[in-house]
A = this chain, B = another copy of it.
């Protein structure tokens, strides 16, 4: 039993590292198994297909990220401060990834959206659910800020989408320029997008 679940964990962990590094399409099952140090036969014992593995990697990553987002966005801090902390921790995570593997790897979900969403409906659906949940979580913080009269938004769901889109766009640039500091623009941009009334920082400040 111990060995069995070890092998699954090793495959998942190798696949995750390889997907972060090189995307999904370029990977083969043989290569994943080699990196994981498990025989190819065990792959199909745990995963029906490479797509099933991709879904498992996505789920594992989302479980961890959702835990972080929940901790940050449901804290007792003021709503806008919670959003700020989310952006700061995202930047710190990208910086840590860069230190450990040399490059800013970006957002796994954004990466896979642009690489895979038009290729497998199962992956597209899962990524849609994840982004929808992220938007809901941000929406609920924005609704708190609206209640405190700290922001001006006509539609908090649409505003949440715009904040997450801004985050994804800046993560794309952080990856392109291999520079996590690009993410420092997200906070002032979020304030501008939300028409925030408190410590308003102009874009580019």
Contacts and interface: CB of A to CB of B under 8 A. Distances in A.
Query: From DSSP, what is the main secondary structure of chain A's interface residues?
Result: helix
Interface stretch (A3-11, A81-89, A167-175): A167-175
Contacts of A64: none
How many identical subunits does the complex contain? 2
Interface in A88-127: 103, 105-106, 110-111, 113-119, 124, 127
A114 B106 contact: yes
Given A169-B165, A202-B153, A203-B194, A175 B25 contact: no
B115 A176 contact: no
Given A110-B172, A124-B176, A165-B170, A204 B153 contact: yes
A29 interface: no
Interface string A149-182: 0001111111101101111111011011110001
Interface string A123-149: 010011001000000000000000000
A38 interface: no
A1 interface: no
Contact of A173 (B154, B161, B205): B161
A62 to B, nearest CB: 15
Interface of A: 21-23, 25-26, 103, 105-106, 110-111, 113-119, 124, 127-128, 131, 152-159, 161-162, 164-170, 172-173, 175-178, 182, 185, 189, 192-195, 202-205
